[in-house]
Structure 1
Amino acid sequence: MTPRKPFRVPSAAALTLALALTAACGSESATTPAAKPGGRSFTVAAAGDVLIHPELVEQAAKDAGTTGKGEAGLDFGPLLAGVEPVIGKADLAICHLETPVGKPKGPFEGYPEFLVPPQILTSLKDVGYDTCSTASNHTFDHGLSAVRRSLDAMDEAGLGHTGSARTREEAAKTVIREVNGVKVAHLSYSWESFLNPTPEKQRWAFNRLDTDEIKKAEARARERGAEVVILSVHWGLEHYNEPSVPQLRLAERLTAETGVDLVIGHHAHVVQPIQKVNGTWVAYGLGNQVARHSSPTGLTEEGVIGWFEFREGADGWDVSARYVPTLVDIPPTAEEGEKLSADVVTDHRLVDVRRAIAVPGDLSEERIARYRLAKERIRGFLFNRGAPGGEGLKELPLDK
């Protein structure tokens, strides 16, 4: 992460106007390609940054004391359980691991040089994630030894990975998975960290964001049999809900000069738009899947799971886009002797806000109102570049 930049929270009136304007028009009309008889199909769920701050480690310790599960006194299962019904249904579920992991008993570190519990990897696998992008500005926070330890731990947990490497030979490999009979390649690239730049002799340890290098990687993937190529990119400005000019320019180049089938963005820690660029879906920023920043803004707790369905057409792949709005519930900090209401949030939990609103149970009106705010605000940010209308971006129904 870079030092926080100032931002403004849009007013309710501005959001309402943005929603009305974007609902009225799309940036381009979509034409559904002719279906291929007997054509294959598969679904992809992709989420934002997994950023384990110290407060979430404390939550995992608290939950382990209740569940009796986990390893070395930490259980991240209850924190992530709210998205399992979505992630577990996808044919391919992709997360973004922002940071290196340490040893099960620590020591652990937060911002600015993260070192997080490897137990998070088991929980990510348990809720249904298949693989993670690992190229970020924090990849090299603790050097090559931490990169290697992280990838070893991911192997042990059964999580795939791409974007960083333990050896020069591994860096040259292309990650291709078979998904419902389709060979899918996953690439991951990031800008370089200014805090801990990679030594020149170890520059192969993670992929730097460069259009020409991405073009070469895609070509290698195609040569090795990939039928679909998905690209994860760590880019943009933190805490800005609108893509930066460099993001927009890079998205234009990537979609015009490569055959990449889907672009998944991270790093902003807030939700950014999803739109089609040159016929290819680009998710500029999916926000945080799970995080607990030292100064929560409301926006940093909101995130999106992008849901993309690939269908084989007569002339290539037709990709439809849906989304699931999420929110990390954060308990308030009580002053000594202060009594909190019985309805107050008591634990950090990742919430599928569609489900919370549709099946509220005994939730108070105040909690439901917070989820509705998240849902509508996320929708506004997602549609800010004209994705509704002809392009067909919609919320994923609960029954999917």
Structure 2
Amino acid sequence: MGRAVSILVLAGMTASCTSGVEEPQVKAGGRSFTVAAAGDVLIHPELVEQAAKDAEKAGEGEAGLDFGPMLAGVKPVISKADLAICHMETPVGKPEGPFEGYPEFLVPPQVLTALKGVGYDTCSTASNHTYDHGMKGVRRTLDVMDELELGHTGSSRSAEEAERINIREVKGVKVAHLAYSWESFLNPTPEKRKWAFNRLGTDEIKKAETRARNEGAEVVILSVHWGLEHHNEPSVPQLQLAQRLTEETGIDLVIGHHAHVVQPIQKVNGTWIAYSLGNQIARHSSPKGTTEEGAIGWFEFRETVDGWDVTARYRTTLVDIPPELEAGEKAPDGSVVDHRLVDVQQVIDEPGDLSEERLARYRLAEDRTRGFLYNRGTPGGDGLKQLSLDE
């Protein structure tokens, strides 16, 4: 009996030592706010065709295009956040076109109106496609964002603008948003205009964080375009940079994209790193299944006596893609009709009259995304959980 009691006591002590992480002491009267962030907004030609179809059907939009119905599925999540951050992968053209797809994107500016409409407050604009159409593309993109009062960081129209820090006041907290990316070898920025694009580098990020702090930023969030496309595991350079950023800077949150598939969300040296949130909206010429799956990262910042405590949640998304049909061929009953960005959990919770085949696709997205997100740690080991809209 004594030995059994000893074993139970020892087991209890071991559990408390391994799982009993001391809760941060919340500051009396401390502030708090929430951040929603998502992956790549990559508008392929099929999505432009869908926007034309939706505009014709509803009689809304601009110059015959309406991206609102396509993105509406995530509005309940995005609009709920105190600060919502998107990643605008490509430059925009004129409302009436012409538009281009891969490899030198030029997409409708109407998508920015839709992003603002679902609740996004600011976007990163640094990617390997930023300079696809030179300074005209950079200027036009940022001009439209300014007209919509949609914040931006990562590219600039002048050397003076490149020195400015995107700082927003969020529920009484000054939050800076930085964005950096590797540069395209196809369309690099010319030497005399290096200021037009934020190149990825630890030293550059450290300098920008210092400027942000000097300008009063209390929280600094970094969007970073990195990694290998279509790989669900972070690359060695991603892991190395994550270590350097969390050891050498005071950045409070890192949001990753570019892989076009979901990669883990992991706490590194006490800082949350979302290596890749997949695609927010895209329609690749050869859909892989995983390229249609994405995650919205949800982060709650709470002020403590020692700084900021951050908890992480996620919400799985899926881009529904209609079947490709031959001329005159009719789609099977119950199949996807339109390209739509879907909140997967919402559909699973309220399936309506969806077929079992459709539901199975959403369940696969949910299960597979969860697996990728937890791939560098045990489920919930760092506190990462699925977001409930009732929280």
Q: TM-score range by the shorter chain?
A: over 0.9
Note the 1:300-339 alignment, pairs <5 A.
Answer: 300-339=291-330
> 2:334 aligned with 1:343, yes or no?
yes
Whole-angstrom distance in 2 between the partners of 1:32 and 1:291: 40
Give the match for residue 238 of structure 2. 247
Structure 2 vs 1, CA of residues 86 and 193 (structure 1 numbering), >3 Å: closer, same or farther?
A: same
Q: Percent identity?
A: 78
Whole-angstrom distance in 1 between the partners of 2:316 and 2:164: 34
Give the match for residue 108 of structure 2. 117
Give the match for residue 282 of structure 2. 291
Give the match for residue 164 of structure 1. 155
What SS does the corresponding residue of 1:300 show, helix, strand or coil? Answer: helix
Whole-angstrom distance in 1 between the partners of 2:55 and 2:202: 44
Residue identity opposite 2:280 in structure 1: Q
Aligned counterpart for 2:73 among listed residues 82, 85, 103: 82
- Deviations along 1:230-270, whole A, 9 cap, x unmatched? 00000000000000000000000001100000000000000
Structure 2 vs 1, CA of residues 390 and 168 (structure 1 numbering), >3 Å: closer, same or farther?
A: same
Q: What is the CA-CA distance between 1:69 and the residue it aligns to?
A: 1.1
Residue identity opposite 2:224 in structure 1: V
Larger Cα Rg: Structure 1 or Structure 2? 2
Give the match for residue 66 of structure 1. 57
What SS does the corresponding residue of 2:291 show, helix, strand or coil? Answer: coil
- Deviations along 1:355-378, whole A, 9 cap, x unmatched? 000000111111111000000000
Note the 1:218-233 alignment, pairs <5 A.
Answer: 218-233=209-224
Q: What is the CA-CA distance between 1:399 and the residue it aligns to?
A: 1.8
Whole-angstrom distance in 2 between the partners of 1:32 and 1:335: 59
Residue identity opposite 2:252 in structure 1: D
Q: What is the CA-CA distance between 1:29 and the residue it aligns to?
A: 7.5
Whole-angstrom distance in 2 between the partners of 1:166 and 1:245: 33
Asked if the contact 1:45/1:305 (under 8 Å) is kept, the reply is yes
In structure 2, stretches of 5+ residues that fail to align are: 1-17
Asked if the contact 1:28/1:391 (under 8 Å) is kept, the reply is no
Note the 1:163-242 alignment, pairs <5 A.
Answer: 163-242=154-233
Higher-RCO chain (CA-CA 8 Å, sequence separation at least 6): 1
Aligned counterpart for 1:99 among listed residues 71, 90, 96: 90
Q: Mean Cα displacement is larger for which, 316-325 or 340-349? A: 340-349
What SS does the corresponding residue of 2:309 show, helix, strand or coil? Answer: strand
- Deviations along 1:74-126, whole A, 9 cap, x unmatched? 00000000000000000000000000000000000000000000000010000
Whole-angstrom distance in 2 between the partners of 1:119 and 1:387: 41
Structure 2 vs 1, CA of residues 67 and 213 (structure 1 numbering), >3 Å: closer, same or farther?
A: same
Whole-angstrom distance in 2 between the partners of 1:266 and 1:52: 15
Task: Tell me the number of residue pairs that the alignment of Structure 1 and Structure 2 aligns.
Answer: 374
Residue identity opposite 2:375 in structure 1: N
Note the 1:358-369 alignment, pairs <5 A.
Answer: 358-369=349-360
Asked if the contact 1:230/1:261 (under 8 Å) is kept, the reply is yes
Whole-angstrom distance in 2 between the partners of 1:190 and 1:57: 26
Q: What is the CA-CA distance between 1:389 and the residue it aligns to?
A: 3.4
Q: What is the CA-CA distance between 1:28 and the residue it aligns to?
A: 9.1
Give the match for residue 26 of structure 2. 35
Structure 2 vs 1, CA of residues 212 and 29 (structure 1 numbering), >3 Å: closer, same or farther?
A: farther
Aligned counterpart for 1:384 among listed residues 366, 375, 381: 375
Q: What is the CA-CA distance between 1:171 and the residue it aligns to?
A: 0.2
Structure 2 vs 1, CA of residues 340 and 77 (structure 1 numbering), >3 Å: closer, same or farther?
A: same
* TM-score normalised by structure 1 residue count: 0.92
Give the match for residue 138 of structure 2. 147
What SS does the corresponding residue of 2:147 show, helix, strand or coil? Answer: helix
Whole-angstrom distance in 1 between the partners of 2:22 and 2:123: 31
Whole-angstrom distance in 2 between the partners of 1:41 and 1:111: 41
- Deviations along 1:9-56, whole A, 9 cap, x unmatched? xxxxxxxxxxxxxxxxxx997542101000000000000000000000
Structure 2 vs 1, CA of residues 28 and 230 (structure 1 numbering), >3 Å: closer, same or farther?
A: farther
Whole-angstrom distance in 1 between the partners of 2:364 and 2:162: 43
Give the match for residue 108 of structure 1. 99
Asked if the contact 1:53/1:292 (under 8 Å) is kept, the reply is yes
Whole-angstrom distance in 2 between the partners of 1:30 and 1:294: 46
Q: Mean Cα displacement is larger for which, 328-337 or 362-371? A: 328-337
Residue identity opposite 1:78 in structure 2: P
Structure 2 vs 1, CA of residues 155 and 387 (structure 1 numbering), >3 Å: closer, same or farther?
A: farther
Structure 2 vs 1, CA of residues 148 and 285 (structure 1 numbering), >3 Å: closer, same or farther?
A: same
> 2:273 aligned with 1:274, yes or no?
no
Residue identity opposite 2:193 in structure 1: Q
- Deviations along 1:196-244, whole A, 9 cap, x unmatched? 0110000000100000010010011001000000000000000000000
Give the match for residue 256 of structure 1. 247
Residue identity opposite 1:161 in structure 2: H
Whole-angstrom distance in 1 between the partners of 2:276 and 2:119: 21
Q: What is the CA-CA distance between 1:338 and the residue it aligns to?
A: 2.7
Asked if the contact 1:354/1:398 (under 8 Å) is kept, the reply is no
Residue identity opposite 2:382 in structure 1: E
- Deviations along 1:177-213, whole A, 9 cap, x unmatched? 0000000000000001011011000000010000001
Residue identity opposite 2:143 in structure 1: D
Give the match for residue 3 of structure 1. none
Q: What is the CA-CA distance between 1:387 and the residue it aligns to?
A: 5.5
Residue identity opposite 1:144 in structure 2: M
Whole-angstrom distance in 1 between the partners of 2:328 and 2:165: 57
Whole-angstrom distance in 1 between the partners of 2:288 and 2:51: 22
Structure 2 vs 1, CA of residues 79 and 29 (structure 1 numbering), >3 Å: closer, same or farther?
A: farther
